[in-house]
Amino acid sequence: MAYRWKNTLSEEDVTPYSTFLNRRQLMAGLAAGGIAASVPLASRAQDALEPNTWEEITNYCNYYEFGTGKDDPARNAGALTIDPWTVRIDGLVDRPGDYSFADIMSQMTIEERIYRFRCVEAWSMVVPWNGFELADLLNWVGVQSSARYVAFETVLRPEEMPGVASRVLEWPYVEGLRLDEAMHPLTMMATGIYGRDIPKQNGAPLRLVVPWKYGFKSIKSVVRITLTEDEPPASWNIANPREYGFYSNVNPQVDHPRWSQATERRLGGGLFAKRQPTLMFNGYEAEVASLYDGMDLREFF
């Protein structure tokens, strides 16, 4: 597997791995000088993007198939079988088929990127992901000219996922992106965190990461990717379209009907940590705003 490192941030912008995880030794495979990253310079506007700890990232998350509590996924996701793993890629592609995770990884270029992560619930963290650009995968299978959207589907195994009994959503979990969003270089398929394999509660072995959108768009444990001409369904949009739009871009000027999106609580600062202003497109405005030129983002939220 090839590795490509992007260094738009200097090493001084990145918190060393050893600062976290109780000062344990640096993981194998990272460069001796620190972690390389590809976070846009626009993301430095508010802080130095110090990553959250492994414990915070892996023990405070949403994965409703394993329960609706923030610690339910870490407690229950161990039952998920992730080896072997197959992703069906179909629809408007040149080479549809069932691709093993190993085959996909053998063809992709793995990078480490430190991204902001903003939940629609108005909390945030900073995550050092490992993975590859979604565009590389789509180009590998060949996108046909009539394709306009990309649909995603999460694995559904009721025997391994106690949360699906609650019917809080329609299962399986589905999501979608417009093709230009999917092909954007910031959009990635994550396979790891902090250089380790991504934990099951965070979406092992393969999850989407779209850093300028609310976290529920970054669908976990992907088993199907379909290229379509029509806008695909999205689970939270199906459940409550008044509260969750298809685009779901981070926008401090468009509130959730039940709370403000103008500020956020950065995870790791304690329960009473001072809230900080939310940045347009989660700090990636310079990179992605052009995708939405001419769109009313209050209507297309």
In-domain check, residue 43 = yes
**pLDDT at position 270:** 65
Query: What's the mean pLDDT in 97-112?
Result: 98
Residue 154 annotated as binding?
A: yes
> Among 62-71, 110-119, 207-216, 272-281, which is the least confidently predicted range?
272-281
Residue 119 annotated as binding?
A: yes
Residue 224 annotated as binding?
A: no
Kindly report, residue by residue over 78-88, the tens digit of the pLDDT. Answer: 999 999 999 99
How far is the C-alpha of 278 from the C-alpha of 185, rounded, in Å?
A: 22
Model confidence at 295, pLDDT cuts 50, 70, 90, reads very high
pLDDT at residue 31 is higher than 90: no
**pLDDT at position 48:** 60
pTM of the model as a whole: 0.86
What burial class does residue 81 get, using C-beta atoms within 10 Å of its C-beta: 0-12 exposed, 13-18 middle, 19+ buried? exposed
* N-to-C CA span, the chain: 38
In-domain check, residue 297 = no
pLDDT at residue 217 is higher than 50: yes
Q: Which helix (H) or strand (E) holds 220?
A: none
Residue 60 annotated as binding?
A: no
pLDDT at residue 299 is higher than 80: yes
In-domain check, residue 85 = yes
Q: What is the DSSP code (8-state) at residue 183?
A: T
- Average pLDDT value over all residues in the chain: 87
Kindly report, residue by residue over 158-212, the tens digit of the pLDDT. Answer: 999 999 999 899 999 999 999 999 999 999 999 999 999 999 999 999 999 999 9
Q: What is the DSSP code (8-state) at residue 241?
A: T
In-domain check, residue 299 = no
**pLDDT at position 81:** 98
Higher pLDDT, 27 or 290: 290
List, in order, residues 6 or more apart from 240 with CB less than 8 Å away: none
**pLDDT at position 28:** 28
CATH code of the domain containing 117: 3.90.420.10
**pLDDT at position 21:** 38
Residue 274 annotated as binding?
A: no
Model confidence at 130, pLDDT cuts 50, 70, 90, reads very high
Kindly report, residue by residue over 40-78, the tens digit of the pLDDT. Answer: 433 333 346 899 999 999 999 999 999 999 999 999 999
Higher pLDDT, 4 or 101: 101
pLDDT at residue 24 is higher than 80: no
Residue 113 annotated as binding?
A: no
Q: Which helix (H) or strand (E) holds 174?
A: strand 174-178
Cβ contact 208:215 at 8 Å? no
In-domain check, residue 69 = yes
| Cis before 205? omega within 30 | yes
In-domain check, residue 301 = no
**pLDDT at position 273:** 73
Residue 65 annotated as binding?
A: yes
pLDDT at residue 218 is higher than 70: yes
Number of domains in the chain: 1
pLDDT at residue 1 is higher than 50: no
In-domain check, residue 300 = no
How far is the C-alpha of 182 from the C-alpha of 165, rounded, in Å?
A: 31
In-domain check, residue 131 = yes
Structural domain boundaries, residue 169 = 2-292
